[in-house]
Amino acid sequence: MGTAPRLPSALVTSLLRRRAGLPQVVRVDGRSLRISRWPGGRHVAQVGPVPGEAPPSPELLVAAVDDLAALGFDDVMTTALHPSEHRPFVDAGFAERDRLVLLRRDLTELPPSPPVALRTARRREWPRLAEVDQQAFPPGWGLDASGISDAFAATPFGRVRAAGRPACGYAVSGRSRSRGYLQRLAVEPSASGRGVGRALVIDALRWLAARGATDCLVNTQETNRRALDLYLSLGFAELPERLMILGRSRDEAP
Ligand SMILES: CC(C)(COP(=O)(O)OP(=O)(O)OC[C@H]1O[C@@H](n2cnc3c(N)ncnc32)[C@H](O)[C@@H]1OP(=O)(O)O)[C@@H](O)C(=O)NCCC(=O)NCCS
């Protein structure tokens, strides 16, 4: 693995101790790494490159995995990586955990809003939305309230919309300049198949268009046929590149 980098260890450790749960950026020798908790599991951390900064080296990643293991994080997952971002992670012993399809839609010719009552969800309701999320997604892939908060904060302008009271479905969407993002969508299984998911997506598209976005991106697991059918039926088209989530357990050597 070559020589160890100049110590990220103490830095990672102290940052995580001080503000555990919040995303942290570690910079070593001009390389950057974003570290946070994996929103779906208490002993899982998440790492990823920092947009616009030099990618982490394999050595920095190995050191970070070791430090995170010492802090009790048995498993480390990446953010959704573009193929051009895989290399240092693979060299540090990370392997594929999931593949995501990226879809895009121009914000023209929007469908009319279906007759499903939606409202803006207040922050105090986010723990309930996390319950919806955890019921909707497979074990380990659901968001907790801080994961919803991260999704909301991922773009300069965002909003969280919900259906039902108590909420049975919700969506987080966001905008950065003219680009819109559907960051998260979940409907609890007991309420699914009644048009709530479709209404939440249309609501997000219409809001983004009204705020000046020209297109919307969304990603979903390659195996999530139901969500893919929903997006395709609403005019999204698959982009050729696949995003990947990689992972490494504490005991897996690079
Ligand atoms: C995907 C999801 C949001 C759909 O929500 P929903 O409220 O059940 O969806 P809707 O009732 O609006 O149906 C929308 C489309 O979903 C698909 N769908 C709905 N129920 C379905 C079922 N029982 N079987 C297969 N497809 C179904 C259909 O394509 C449907 O289109 P239609 O309205 O022309 O029939 C919901 O199933 C869910 O939360 N899944 C888990 C989390 C997830 O996948 N999130 C999105 C990806 S990140």
Whole-number percent of the chain with pLDDT over 70? 90
Q: For 19-25, which contacts have Cβ atoms below 8 Å and span 24 or more sequence positions?
A: 21/146, 23/150, 25/50
* Residue in the block written with tokens 């979940």: 186
Mean pLDDT of 225-233: 97
Whole-number percent of the chain with pLDDT over 90? 71
Mean pLDDT of 171-198: 96
**Residues with Cβ within 8 Å of residue 85, at least 6 apart in sequence:** 49, 55
Mean pLDDT of 181-197: 97
Output 138 or 8, whichever has higher pLDDT.
Answer: 138
pLDDT band at 232 (very low <50, low <70, confident <90, very high): very high
Mean pLDDT of the chain: 90
pLDDT of res. 1: 45
d(CA 60, CA 116): 49
Per-residue pLDDT of 80-136, as tens digits, reads: 999 999 999 999 999 999 999 999 999 999 999 999 999 999 999 999 999 999 999
Tell me the whole-structure pTM to 2 decimals: 0.87
Output 46 or 7, whichever has higher pLDDT.
Answer: 46
- DSSP structure string for 14-33: HHHHHTTTS-EEEEETTEEE
Output 153 or 204, whichever has higher pLDDT.
Answer: 204
**Is 101 a pocket residue for ligand 1 (Cβ < 6 Å)?**
no
- Per the structure block, which two tokens stand in for 241? 């590149």
The DSSP code for 177 is T
Region of 68 (left: φ > 0; alpha: ψ -120 to 50; beta: rest) is alpha
d(CA 127, CA 146): 9
- Per the structure block, which two tokens stand in for 165? 């009271």
d(CA 233, CA 216): 15
* Atom in ligand 1 nearest the alpha carbon of residue 218: 48
Ligand 1 centroid – CA 135 distance (Å): 14
**Is 226 a pocket residue for ligand 1 (Cβ < 6 Å)?**
yes
**Is 162 a pocket residue for ligand 1 (Cβ < 6 Å)?**
no
Ligand 1 centroid – CA 108 distance (Å): 23
Q: Which of 40, 42, 85 is nearest to 61 (CA)?
A: 85
- Per the structure block, which two tokens stand in for 102? 């990226």
Q: 7-11, 143-147, 241-245: lowest mean pLDDT where?
A: 7-11
CB 152 within 8 A of CB 158: yes
d(CA 228, CA 218): 10
- DSSP structure string for 196-229: HHHHHHHHHHHHHHHTT--EEEEEEETT-HHHHH
Q: Which residues pair with 44 in a beta bridge?
A: 75
